[in-house]
Amino acid sequence: MAVATATLTVALEVGDRLAREFRSLGANLLVTSNSDTLPLEIGGVDYRPVDEGAYLHEADLGKLKTIFWRHNILGFTPFLDVPTLVTAKPLNTTLIGTWYEHEVLIPDGTKFTTGLSKTDPSWQIRGRWFRDSSNEAVVGAALAAKDPDAFAIGNTIQVTHSTGANNAATLVVTGIVTTGDEEDNAIFVSLSLAQQYSGHSGQFRQLYVSALTKPADALAERDPKTLTPTEYDKWFCSPYISSIGYQIAQVLPGTEVRAIRRVADSEGHILSRVSTLLWIVTIAALVAASLAITATSAAAVLDRQTEIGVMKAIGATNTRVTVLFLIEHLALALIGGMAGFAIGTVLAWFLGASVFGTPATPELILLPIILGLAVLVALIGGLIPLRRIAHFDAAPILRGE
């Protein structure tokens, strides 16, 4: 019961804990305008030209925190890519306008802080990130390596719009970022600066959303248009990546929401395997306990043959004798279940601290479940030995045969 308590406690939290850990690896939803240019993806990388396509409105982003699963939206970050020429080299690159930590006004009047610090916390920065509404910039590590002197922290760089537009900007390098992806060849600035630089005031091109989701199952993969009303309610009220994406598209009309499959699929596989492993350990512990109870009960019945013979000799029926033993089993099961729950809670605390870095919180809802499992295991384990009582004959036992 202690092992069952520990594994079930961790199993109740493992989904959210692992999902939050995965969210540090990047967003799992991509939002674009459905009138944008057709996607051209190779190996999960979008190769559409950065200077073509439709745009979305920054003022609508607060609506993301009004969907049914709004609390599962951990963060979102808009991106505005602008083809750029670094004039000193010259060197062609991409100027990415985005947020690092930015307050978004929610329609209910509250504010939500989001940006790269929420969607991509694993990115490593040397120096510091830019400030909003400033001419500061953060340079990708791969781009900075091409000219370490020009892109050194504290230096000033000149950039112009590579499409020939008469736009130019002077930027102060405040940091060098390592993303582990193609963004290492870009220059990051505040979204407001990129909007002014590109002439797209109040607009952005792509939105990356980091949302807590549950692994997909058969219902999650179905088209919501084909679901019955009952199935639709269950699908809508489950934090599938498909249902959250559907709700985002509802509050941001004219958008296409796509799951970043290489992230979402990996999460689903890992979560499913970890949950399966915990259930296997739980079932194995219960089976082992049942076998141990079978052996203990069989030994107890043999040791107490004389008592059974005496009870039968003075008129006790097989049912009455069996009930007396069952009451003992149930009493021990309840005591063992409560003791196991207490020990298992402590074990789960240490298990959570060692695996996830934070202790697992006690789940009192498991107490009646553990007591029920303890009773079930005691009954199953004692079933065969207790059935032998019906075959005991009082006379041979009392004669010592």
HEC secondary structure over 153-187: CCCEEEEEECCCCCCEEEEEEEEEEECCCHHHHEE
How high is the pLDDT of residue 86? 87
Tokens of 244: 């959250």
How high is the pLDDT of residue 263? 58
How high is the pLDDT of residue 68? 93
How high is the pLDDT of residue 44? 43
Chain segment 7-61, per-residue pLDDT in tens: 888 877 766 666 666 666 678 899 998 876 455 554 444 445 544 567 899 999 9
Residues with Cβ within 8 Å of 79's Cβ and at least 6 positions away in sequence, in order, are 96, 97, 98, 204, 205, 206, 207, 208
CB-count exposure of residue 64 (10 Å: 0-12, 13-18, 19+) = buried
CA gap 280, 258 in Å, rounded: 34
**pTM for this entry:** 0.69
CB 190 within 8 A of CB 133: yes
Alpha helices in 252-393 (DSSP H): 261-303, 305-313, 318-356, 366-388
* Below-50 pLDDT ranges, the chain: 37, 42-47, 50-51
How high is the pLDDT of residue 21? 67
Closest CA to 2 of 284, 370, 381: 370
How high is the pLDDT of residue 296? 83
